Amino acid sequence: MIGNVNRFRGASTENESLLRRSFLQRSAATVVCASAQIANHVYAAPSGGDIPAKEYAKHDAVGLAELVRNKEVTPDELLNAAIARTDSVNPKINAIAGTMYDMARESINRGLPDGPFSGVPFLIKDLSFAMKGVDAFFGSTLFDGQKSKADSTVVARYRKAGLVLFARTQVPELGVLPTTESTFAGITRNPFDRERTAGGSSGGSAAAVAAGIAPMASASDGGGSIRIPASCCGLFGMKPTRARIPNGPDAFESWGGLAVKHAVTRSVRDSAALMDATAGAEPGDSYSAPHHSGTFLEEVAREPGRLRIAIVNTMRPTQFVHAECQHAVADAAKLCESLGHYMEDATDDFNRRFVFRELRQSHGITVLVALRRRILQRLKILGRKLRDADLEPVTRFYHDYAEQYSAVQIEDCRSIYHRAARSMAAFQTKYDVILTPTLATLPVKHGEICMTGTSQAVLEGLQKFIPCTQMANWTGQPAMSVPLHYTPEGLPIGVQFLGRFGDEAALFRLARQLEKARPWSDRRPQIS
């Protein structure tokens, strides 16, 4: 039954001294709860053949779909493999917010659509992707017990593509952090280094894909939340152009147009094929992304030509970039040059074109107002006032602080974004693509950026950690994190490429060229 959803509330058992005492007490309890649920979940795999774990993990989603079409494996067998992998690794990383095994089995038994991903297991982020009758916790005590009344448009398109939706992935409270940890759901750990973050807010999705639970997972991005966890976990993460993938039927813009939906994937072709399956306006949309003729999957097979690529080493006010992140950009530039692309350092010119203080302040206002609105909507449904235990300390501060903002300030923020988009378009008359660090530091240790600290600590952490990802949200253009570099210790470091507005095609072509030149699919974390 759709409503029969098993729930994981995992948390760390290491390094917890970084968080508040209350966090520790509640997290310790959640880990016991998660372990019990994992050991005793009600799903029983049917008799019959099973695909070996290594065989399942080595294929991307397009590859698994081919196996199903060729009748080399059944959707039941793939689902069994996904569930077995979940049970094996999730206690170590806490990537899963809840399971939907019964619903997944029912979808197979009813008969899957003959879509591009028919039979492929898929994970849904526990925020921004409404599923009819399924819990959506948003990483928050306040939203515990919430159920959606209808599928969102993109979820309906996932189903039409034949994907088997079997679990939901962890998020920080209401998706406002570039890390994934909360007192409600615990700490989501990076499979490459469990002392470090998997990123956020799509950290559960990235950790699960990196750990081999599924070949791809849904993700959303309002300031880097696809690209940040992709970088942390050695995955490919494409943030689409604004309005490329619809937010309907109940919403049009998210975070005032800053936030978009797509996925984190192991392969470039998976990302392109999934965008083909989900992109396109729905009736009633106020605007849509520029039309793309043909398919994005076709673009992956095409050569990118000789691109003019601007190197931007950092964005204001952040000056410090970790040596490994600097090296990742320099190495990516060298690789691009070896592939025939024109490279030019444009850091100073780029930074002169934008008033970053205004942009970052506008981002904060927009997010805080959207946060407060969502909380007030939830309280209206519950028919009560906000309680002290409902929200994390920083979330509560943000909610209260947002009351001061006016409609005029929100309109000012939109104007500031539009001016930035004009400046970006002018800059990109000279360059096809922009290369930057995805992150300015290594994935942070747990507790460094969290909602149990102070708002000032969170703000400072954001500026140090992610100075370069928010630009694409302000301007609406596509951007991707590509896992081209690893530290000597084996920690992945992504680099970011920004394309022109509406031009995911150029990024997909470049990404596939880089994937062939420096393959990353075999770089997997040592976790079992």
Look up residue 291 and give its two tokens. Answer: 């039309």
* Pairing status of strand 6-7 against strand 236-239: unpaired
| Residues 417, 367 contacting (CB under 8 angstroms) | no
Q: How many CB atoms lie within 10 A of CB 48?
A: 9
Spatial separation of the C-alpha atoms in residues 229 and 222, rounded to whole Å:
13
Indicate the burial class of 248 (C-beta count within 10 angstroms; 0-12, 13-18, 19 or more).
middle
Spatial separation of the C-alpha atoms in residues 508 and 218, rounded to whole Å:
18
Indicate the burial class of 429 (C-beta count within 10 angstroms; 0-12, 13-18, 19 or more).
exposed
Look up residue 504 and give its two tokens. Answer: 């995911």
Give the CA radius of gyration of the chain: 21
Look up residue 157 and give its two tokens. Answer: 């398109």
* Pairing status of strand 308-311 against strand 433-437: parallel
Q: Does residue 225 carry a catalytic annotation?
A: yes
Q: Does residue 125 carry a catalytic annotation?
A: yes
* Pairing status of strand 236-239 against strand 260-265: antiparallel
The one-letter amino acid code at 505 reads A
The SS3 of residue 219 is strand
Catalytic entry in 12, 218, 225, 481: 225
> For 339, which DSSP code?
T
Write the Ramachandran bin of 305: left for phi over 0, alpha for psi from -120 to 50, otherwise beta: left
Bridge partners (DSSP) of residue 99 are 6, 167
Instruction: List CB contacts of 63: < 8 A, sequence separation 6 or more.
Output: 215
DSSP 17-42: GGS-HHHHHHHHHHHHHHHHHHHH-S
Angle between helices 268-278 and 504-517 (to 10 degrees): 160
Bridge partners (DSSP) of residue 298 are none
> For 266, which DSSP code?
S
Spatial separation of the C-alpha atoms in residues 156 and 218, rounded to whole Å:
13
Catalytic entry in 12, 27, 125, 267: 125
The one-letter amino acid code at 517 reads A
- Which residues does the annotation mark as catalytic? 125, 201, 225
